Amino acid sequence: MNFTLYKDNKFVMQRKHFYPLRVHIMKALGMKSVFETSTKEVIKKAKKNNYRMEMSGNEI
């Protein structure tokens, strides 16, 4: 599976795992602790700031 991150419909990055995208979003939005913030909170803030994530491929 590949995870792709867009901001304002412009490609930002693509990674095989979700964690690097999560860390990139948290740093870009100024969120402090990686371990204390839930993934749901990160996704909500990302959507509010025009980030969009796509998941492609069913590689198992």
Angle made by CA atoms 51, 28, 18, in degrees to the nearest 5 = 60
What is the reported pLDDT for 1? 85
Per-residue model confidence (pLDDT) at position 60: 46
Tokens of 30: 């100024």
Question: Rounded to two decimals, what is the model's pTM?
Answer: 0.80
Which stretches of the chain are DSSP H helices? 19-29, 39-48
CB neighbour list of residue 45: distance below 8 Å, 6 or more residues apart: 25, 29, 31
pLDDT at 40: 92
The token duo for 41 is: 């909170």
- Taking only the tens place, the pLDDT of each residue in 4-60 is 999 999 999 999 999 999 999 999 999 888 788 898 999 999 999 999 999 987 654
